[in-house]
Homo-oligomer: A and B are copies of this chain.
Amino acid sequence: MGDATEKGGRHPAEGSVEHLGELALVDLISNLCAQSEAGNLDLVGIGDDAAVVAAPDRRVVVSADMAVAGRHFRTDWSDARHIGVRVAAANLADIAAMGAQPTNFLLSLGLPRSTEVSWVLDLVRGVVAETMRAGAVVAGGDVVGAQEIIVAGTALGDLAGRSPVRRSGAVAGDQIAVAGRLGWAAAGLAVLTRGFRSPRALVDAHRQPEPPYQAGVQAGVSGAHAMIDVSDGLLLDAARIARASMVEIDIESALITVAEPIAAAAAAYNLDPLQWILGGGDDHAFLAAFAPDAPLPDGFTRIGQVRAHTSAMSAMADGANPVTGWVTVDGKTPEGSAGYAHFS
């Protein structure tokens, strides 16, 4: 913990970041992150101008993500540790969605002066825990002052010699399959929005998603044709695969299991549970296209198929709805809003 020991009998995690000061805060954060660094000691970790991390494959998979308090998370609905888990999960899932093993995470924090040090350390604990759950280590970052809490992450990953699984590789006839939860986080958000804190399983799913990283990696190992992390909703993310691959994707609603907590919450609010399952993001499930006869890796369930992109559907393409013309449910164009847009 270096220089950041107690001053005048007060524990450094008490009080605000302004009181503690930047250098001592960085020491405390670095110490937490160092827990995840075992096994990587031959390389350079936190404390130099940059980290040096292994890239055994001669390529590195990399993705950056930014989350802002009040927009991507709410400090009154989620505790700091859960926020750390969520932000790290969103970023690390992007790596696994390429079929790559997450290897490293970098964390940059913008913090108002009044932020409690203990809150910051809990957030870092969540980031470290989720990074380790993904099989990766925290390799560095930055801490600066800001008006609102900003959490920016960069995740790195390794392909172990495989081709990356892109959005653009789906072909007509492919199976469409999903690994992980659909709609749980959205249902949890609906519960919280209504002022409730239960069903706990849904609220927890919103607070702390559990991307099935290894299923993403295994999809890469088994030669998935295309894959995406479902972060903005099944329909919208399926449309991204369809557009990139110039195909249509049909989801069969009969293949989608409505989990009990979602069914119960939908009944309680008199809503169609498919609204959450088809439109809800933030669970970070993996949606992938596999060859028609390919056995699906553990964790994946078939929910539809890829069809040739017909000129008829093309003609229906609608600028206002990014799903129309690319994704159908039971052969029909889905209605309603289908995803999340920033600035609106």
Contacts and interface: CB of A to CB of B under 8 A. Distances in A.
Interface in A67-126: 67-68, 71-72, 94-95, 97-98, 100, 104, 106-111, 113
Interface in A119-145: 139-145
Given A106-B154, A144-B71, A150-B146, A61 B52 contact: yes
Given A44-B166, A144-B66, A144-B342, A98 B50 contact: yes
Given A154-B154, A164-B48, A104 B62 contact: yes
Interface stretch (A18-26, A181-189, A259-267): A18-26
Per assembly, the copies of the chain total 2
A205 B58 CA distance: 37
A48 B72 CA distance: 21
Contact of A150 (B47, B49, B64, B66): B66
A146 B21 contact: no
A29 to B, nearest CB: 13
Contacts of A51: 61-63
Interface of A: 3, 17-18, 21-23, 25, 43-44, 47-68, 71-72, 94-95, 97-98, 100, 104, 106-111, 113, 139-148, 150, 152, 154-157, 159, 164, 166-168, 227-229, 244, 319, 322, 341-344
